[in-house]
Structure 1
């Protein structure tokens, strides 16, 4: 480019054009969530279930594309283990889980305590504990309760909170963290 073709173009004008292009090209979720800090170009979910003995280690997202086969595996893994009921698990919650795990820099997978809960399971758990919500996001496939070996409830919750992407509940007495893709909020001790 010659200097004559740059007449009338200022550095500030170029920066404004670049900023406008960046905002238009940015994925929707990156504007709503702080997931990009932890998720990366490849998103991976590693979990095991103490209830079923199953293990999950899957790459479910590559360079902006969710992998349907990986999500089918995630949906099955996150099922209500009491009833074997499966629901399409919300990809936003999976993104929060993956980003938080990456931020924790943990070698060990999550221990899944609760993923999807059928209305029957939620009702049964609610009858035993006031901490179980009547309209729990677990019943929509939008929440998970997890632990990570070698990481405290405080460390896990701080990683999840830093994603600024949903609800994070600290349950120190029961040694688990709740993560969901609902409104951004934090609770617990």
Structure 2
């Protein structure tokens, strides 16, 4: 049970209600709506980050899943387990990402591997080796590299909030049944 009550859509401002309902009226949004003064801006920034044409959708989902796994966020993994296949991520790839080293031996291409390495290093060490950064930057360019960093930052921060608030999984979310290695 969440530590802070969920805000009912009818108790939100009109704009907050529109944004919440647009994104599925998820527990995440209903608990964060308690921060009324920053909620709308946070939602709009999230929409922009998730719909930008600069970063391929598949790559964005790989980053979200890897960050969710590394941040020990069952909510993020549960939500994106169903979203990722719509971006071309297979169940086997999800399982590889949601493991310590399985992603290294999976069928990801060189750019995806570089982005997964950057995500792993940044989340686990709070820094990135120059060679890893150069590989991502060389493959994606400046704007997409910064977007990758923004996605990592957004979902790492989100995981911290979800974990602190103990937000309940929505009925639509499924946690992956990951195989034991």
| TM-score of the two chains, using structure 2 as the length reference | 0.28
- Largest Rg, 1 or 2: 1
Larger relative CO (CA 8 A, sep 6+): 1 or 2? 2
Q: Which has the higher helix share?
A: 2
Q: Which has the higher strand share?
A: 1
